[in-house]
Amino acid sequence: MFDHTTRRSLVLGAAAAGASLALPASALAQAKTPLVGPLAPNPAEFKKTMEQFSGGKPAQADGLLLDVPVLADNPSAVPVKVKVTLPISEQDWCEEIIVLAELNPSPLTCRLQFTAAAGTAEAAVRIRLSQSQNVHALARMKSGRVLQTKQAVTVAASGCGM
């Protein structure tokens, strides 16, 4: 386990390397409101987030790796690794990666931003899944290309208060 000093060092180290991690506004809003009853999937929000991120451009299937366990024992903390495998240069680098849970009430689980100084575009996070579903990762390159991949995950129990 990490103590507070170690976590602070990791966050500061990531910021110094040209990467940042931010919680989506919808997640911050949900944290302030108590949950009342089960929350249903939000396919409209999922579709809207996908379209906004890609800007309506078709996404290419190669160049992005997503590593998620096929069976998630703890749906409250599912490990996710995302990595852009395309060459990173000063002319073209990954600006942003998002991770979406297709059937979560709030589909945007993670947003990662990078600069050319990062030298790579990869991250490992833990996300919460409400049920068995597809997890999607999208990456936007400086050149405007959008990369996309997805993987199915089966959860052992509900992780979003359902």
Q: For residue 151, give Cα distances in angstroms to 26, 65, 117.
A: 23, 10, 29
Task: Give the H/E segment covering residue 109.
Answer: strand 108-114
Residue 160 falls within a domain, yes or no? no
H runs (alpha helix) in the chain: 4-16, 25-32, 43-54
Burial group, residue 69, by CB count within 10 angstroms (0-12, 13-18, 19+): middle
Domain limits at 125? 4-155
Q: Say how far apart CA 112 and CA 93 lie, in whole Å.
A: 13
**pLDDT score recorded for residue 39:** 74
Q: Is 97 helix (H, G, I), strand (E, B) or coil?
A: strand
**pLDDT score recorded for residue 80:** 98
How many structural domains compose the chain? Answer: 1
pTM (predicted TM-score): 0.74
Binning the chain into helix, strand and coil, the percentages to the nearest 5 are 20, 35, 40
Residue 41 falls within a domain, yes or no? yes
**pLDDT score recorded for residue 113:** 96
CA 128 to chain CA mean position, Å: 11
Q: Say how far apart CA 44 and CA 28 lie, in whole Å.
A: 19
- Kindly state the tokens that stand for 52: 């906004």
**pLDDT score recorded for residue 25:** 62
**pLDDT score recorded for residue 108:** 97
Residue 18 falls within a domain, yes or no? yes
* Residue pair 126/135 in contact by the 8 Å Cβ criterion: no
Residue 131 falls within a domain, yes or no? yes
Residue 111 falls within a domain, yes or no? yes
Query: pLDDT per position in the chain (162 positions), as tens?
Result: 444 444 444 444 455 556 666 655 655 555 454 444 457 899 999 999 999 999 989 999 899 999 999 999 999 999 999 999 999 888 999 999 999 999 999 999 999 999 988 889 999 999 999 999 999 999 999 999 999 999 999 998 655 554
Taking alpha carbons only, the member of 89, 153, 143, 78 closest to residue 121 is 89
Residue 62 falls within a domain, yes or no? yes
Taking alpha carbons only, the member of 23, 59, 24 closest to residue 141 is 59
CATH of residue 111: 2.60.40.2470
Residue 48 falls within a domain, yes or no? yes
Residue 161 falls within a domain, yes or no? no
- Kindly state the tokens that stand for 56: 């309506």
State the DSSP code for 37.
Answer: S
